[in-house]
Amino acid sequence: MGKLFSSRRTAEFLLFALRTALAWGIGLLWVIPFLGVFMSAVRPQEELLHGWWRFSPFTFTLQNFSRAWTHSTASIAQGLWNSLLVALPATLLSVFLGALAAYGFLRARTGIATWLFLGVVLLLALPQQMAAIPLFQGLAALDLINSYVGLILVHAAWGLPWITMFLRNFFTTVPVELEEAARIDGASRTYTFFRILLPVSLPALASAAALQFNWVWNDFFLALILIYSPDKLLVTQRIPLLRGQYYVDWGLLSAAALLAMSVPILVFLLLQRYYVRGLVGWNVEK
């Protein structure tokens, strides 16, 4: 009996060690590309000619960040500001409209609401490339090409399906007794939504906002087809312009990439708990 117990403990320990080693291996493989970008950003170009993994000599410098920040034709500072002008309103608008739609779908008692919600779910499978031409033609007819308003509306509309489904799933976890108690006290449906349901849904709203902000911030395709003025280019559009004409300036490109990803990382750090809960789902025990 003692030998059987000991062998079982040994097998469990070996399985734990194998899982840990596998997790560390995958983690290291995931970190290596980022390490390469970071090492390229903080070293001069001449030290990168034979590979960033060669550390002799090693000269730490922030010059690449300075050049990317104040670049004459594709300033990353201006790109970060332009991206904020698009990402913030596109996030707030889509989360607000998504919350309204989610509550409506949840409380609607008609059969057509079910079919409409099914249509919302099916829209999640629509690739951007399929809608690019009609989207461009529609915005051109409204004179919204090369306009942040047009890009904000497109991002808000594109994020609505998943945000609606996401928040509807969360609203189902809120006890309906809260709404019934408010209704007994004479509260209207609008008052119940804004003063009772939304405050208790702040974790879900923050999670949806973090995911939508990162999606809008990292977008390249929609910005590429809708924004073309040099002074309006977003940060993701400016990075390829730093490539150089006669040689690839890897240090400049890497510094610009790190500056561009600094904002999503900051958002992730601020909303980390909600971000992770949004990815794993609300029905998982925390």
Q: Which helix (H) or strand (E) holds 184?
A: helix 176-184
Q: What pLDDT, on the 0 to 100 scale, is given for residue 282? A: 53
- Look up residue 104 and give its two tokens: 């409506």
Q: What pLDDT, on the 0 to 100 scale, is given for residue 10? A: 84
pLDDT lower than 50: segments of the chain: 284-286
Q: What pLDDT, on the 0 to 100 scale, is given for residue 81? A: 96
**Tokens 């799933």 belong to which residue?**
169
CB 226 within 8 A of CB 136: yes
CB 112 within 8 A of CB 120: no
Q: What pLDDT, on the 0 to 100 scale, is given for residue 285? A: 46
Q: What pLDDT, on the 0 to 100 scale, is given for residue 110? A: 76
Question: From CA 198, how far away is CA 8, in angstroms rounded?
Answer: 50
Q: What pLDDT, on the 0 to 100 scale, is given for residue 79? A: 95
Q: What pLDDT, on the 0 to 100 scale, is given for residue 181? A: 86
CA dihedral of residues 13, 14, 18, 21 (deg, nearest 10): 60
Q: What pLDDT, on the 0 to 100 scale, is given for residue 188? A: 86
- Look up residue 282 and give its two tokens: 């609300």
